[in-house]
Structure 1
Amino acid sequence: MKKQTILRIVLPGLVCAGVMAASSWYAICYNDGRLVKPMDFSTYVFSPKDLPMLLSLGLVLLYAAYLVVLWVRAFTGQRRSPAASQFTRTVSPKLGFLGLLGFLGFSGFWTYQRSGSVFPFVFFIFFGFFGFFYEGKMSHTLMDERYKENWMRAHFNANQTALKIIFVATILLGQGALGGSLARTFMFYIIAVTLALALGIFLGEYLLYRYDHDEQPDESEG
């Protein structure tokens, strides 16, 4: 993945996070926390002061749609390129430092105590970007039959691990493991899901790297 592509992904995300933080601050200070604190939307009545928060929410939705478009374009472009079907993409291992953005998720504990907002917990999914360290080490690798088998095995095991965590979290939190507090249950469910997804993304690349190198022939033998 090129640096320009990474910037096209990360910079709009940071802008969205900044706009969301600013609109949340405005809502808390000047609009009684509307659309930030938990509220009954069945009785919601529009107010002009809600515009900053509504616009920031719309911006986040547009960013999500933008990511989907980028993913679809990258996927279709890769399938059309004959070279891409033979070698893995070239990625710099330094992109793994983007995983540090995952620590922004801890700010969710502050926003939850302050305004009831759980949005920052979504940043935990960026921990999965640490997988770029291992994907970078596998750059421009010939995708032969052995590689394809390892890829399927690594991503199957990674996805299975993530789904198991989500399943256990769903069962435990769904049974009221946190004393029946709906707000707290939702908060910890968001944390569990985002961390599980991040683990799945990271494990997919890490296991592929381990499988590929564990099966390399030992040149010292023979």
Structure 2
Amino acid sequence: MNTELNINEIFYSLQGEAREVGLPTVFVRLTGCPLRCSYCDTEYAFKGNNPLSIDTILTEVKKYNTKFVCVTGGEPLAQINCYVLLDRLVKENYQVSLETSGSIDIADINPDVSIVMDIKTPSSNESDKNLYDNIEKLETKDQLKLVIGSKADFDWSVKLLSKYPTQAEVLFSSVFDAIEPAQLAQWILDGQLNVRLQVQLHKLLWGDEKGK
């Protein structure tokens, strides 16, 4: 079996988002994505040719003194061997999170992986790719992220949560340089929503650089 993955980068930094925010984490970024979101900040990961075996990826991950690993992209599930990588990381006793869009079925992901699913809002120009059945597959260990680029996105997200209840923790995040986090916070409070405001820690620390 071919156990290679096309890898954009493997790096060590603080987790900037989601439940493990602030924790030292190894990031494994896979190359490629079928979506082209208007607010994407990882376009550099769309293309490249850097095939690495899963054994080599594990060797790189083990160089760092942390149990937290985030598999991200691009869209990592676009590569079928991503599932094999997730299984191997879990077997090695890492605490694994997967950052994925809502456009690919999440049913076959290892149950010990924490899924951070980024359902696309209208301003992404890719909301027609969402698989809304994915939302009901999320569990309490998972998180549903909505990136808000406008008041229309916010209102759309509120309606989405009403239509598709979820066990997962819900994160609202503002598009960097499009909406001030304080504005999004006020909308959340005004609506008395049971969601978590997410601020991208890595961008507060290092600006719009891709990683540290």
TM-score by length of 1: 0.20
Give the greater-gyration-radius structure (CA).
1
Higher helix share: 1
TM-score by length of 2: 0.20
Higher strand share: 2
